[in-house]
Amino acid sequence: MKILVSDPLSEEGIKLFKDVKEFQVDVKTNLKPEALKEIIKDYDALIVRSATKVTKDIIGQAAKLKVIGRAGVGLDNVDLDAATQKGIIVMNTPAGNTISTAEHTVSMILALSRNIPQANASMKQGEWKRSKFMGVELYNKTLGIVGFGRIGREVAKRALSFGMKVLAYDPFLSREVAEAIGVEVVELKGLFEQSDYITVHTPLTEETKHMISSSQFVQMRKGVRLVNCARGGIIDEVALVNAIKEGKVAGAAIDVFEKEPPSADNELLKLDNVITTCHLGASTEEAQVNVAIEIAECVRDYLLGKGIRNAANYPCLEAELCKIFEPYINLADKLGAFSSQLVEGRFQELSINYTGDIAKHDLTPLTMALVKGILSPILKESVNFINATNLAKERGIKIKEAKSSQEEEFVTSIQLEIKTDKEVRRIYGTLSANKQPRIVKIDEYYVELSPQGDMVVIQNWDKPGVIGNLGTLLGKYNINIAAMTFGRQAPAGKAVSVLNIDSPVSAELLDKIKKTENILSVKIIKI
């Protein structure tokens, strides 16, 4: 089997391939897209880092390709949908740079506190200005960590060793898990209000883009310090510059930018109390070796028929069951993603009930897909089919499974109950006649909706004119309604309305929908 390594990869990873007599390994870096497109037809596996763009066109020419391995976490450079459609497994290494990024974060916090880069630059200019670089101690300060996955947890351990108080915000983190290591779980607003330092460790999604902006800076303590070693765009750079100039923010340490490399006129590069590095979070010798070895082991084992690990687009199951399970895996994934964005509060327990013919099989792959769907809107590429249930359990989310071959309300269905610290919601999914996923019940309301694209989920009073008002309002913003479904228990009572729409809803429009007469609540969902 032929393996193409198209980006620089540590020799330790390449050696793992070369040690297998069944493999032929070719290392060809800096390939132009047309050159890669020309030769990809000959290869069974492709190993990339971030430079190679594995586009739909390239995947279309991959006649033999079985697996794409990404030595790193982000999959922005791989067309996951195109690979999935062609049956190509895509693997990544979500844990390989955990320690490296955590240590870089703590280094940035220390450098920010003691003005180390500024003092170093001053010394090298022949100056000796001790009073100019007065610092602050970490001891007894409060660190707020936004996103408490593997990296956030490692940062917390190190911060606790400095005698810091650590607060954490993560919608999937249970209080019990956090408190066991000495961390207090808070809501995001509370974290902003109480923290002396704030560090972010979330993926960049539509929900997390600019999650720290002007209105959040207003909530923070005067003199707060911010660190971003996660993804550019989580912190609004323009708002951060303004907050620093106004004196609200005492300093910032930024490793990642909205545009990389940042332009020379980016004001963050010009402020004396901002420390910047060039996306170095994973740039350690150990991290590069770790991700190289991890991806090589995953791809090697898959090609040799020893199982699937760290698959971003495929759960582990026997080949002969694939055709039976595939539509249900799709249903479970989308049911999870829909439900995750519907509920309020911190997740505590997932109860899953499978009914009908599908319940005769081992349903582990479906549970993996459903939990992946639930976590994906927040954790994005750091969660996959293989690690989803472990990530949920690490955060203290209990998962219960039940199944019955007896038909209940629907011939075959997946019934999900989510308990949070604020509410309990029940969402049912099934397959249509052409095996497409459908949400058929939300709590006590029967509906019929396709979980895809942009959706608006509304709870409203069942009064005349509600739907007409919504249609008129969306029309004014040039948003087309692709499909609508309604559910109610009794005339004039509470009802649920779900709209599939052709373009996203702006914050301005969302506010107007919420203020429309007889509207009780609104959720924007994107799958």
- Residues noted as catalytic: 231, 260, 279
Tokens of 428: 């049912």
Q: How many C-beta neighbours within 10 Å does residue 34 have?
A: 9
H/E element, 232: none
- In angstroms, the CA 439 to CA 98 distance is 37
Spatial neighbors of 305 by CB under 8 A, at least 6 apart, are none
Instruction: Kindly write down the DSSP assignment for every residue of 115-176, as one continuous string.
Output: THHHHHHHHHTT---GGGG-----TT-EEEEE--SHHHHHHHHHHHHTT-EEEEE-TT--HH
3-state secondary structure of 415: strand
**How far is 200 from 359, CA to CA, in rounded Å?**
41
- 233 within 8 A of 258, measured Cβ to Cβ: yes
Look at residues 368, 399, 304, 228 and name the one whose alpha carbon lies nearest to residue 67: 304
List Cα–Cα distances, 450 to 225, 314, 500, 526, in angstroms.
Answer: 44, 22, 8, 12
3-state DSSP assignment of residue 64: coil
Structure tokens given for 144: 């707020």
Measuring CA to CA, which residue among 63, 78, 65, 153 is closest to residue 384? 78
Q: Which amino acid is at 332?
A: A
Q: Rounded distance, CA 330 to CA 343, Å?
A: 20
Strand order in the sheet with 45-48: 24-27, 2-5, 45-48, 67-70, 89-91
User: Which residues, including other chains, have CB under 8 Å from residue 227's CB and lie 6 or more apart?
Assistant: 105, 108, 109, 112, 197, 198, 199, 200, 252, 253, 254
Q: How far apart are CA 502 and CA 93, in angstroms?
A: 34
Q: Which helix (H) or strand (E) holds 353?
A: strand 347-355
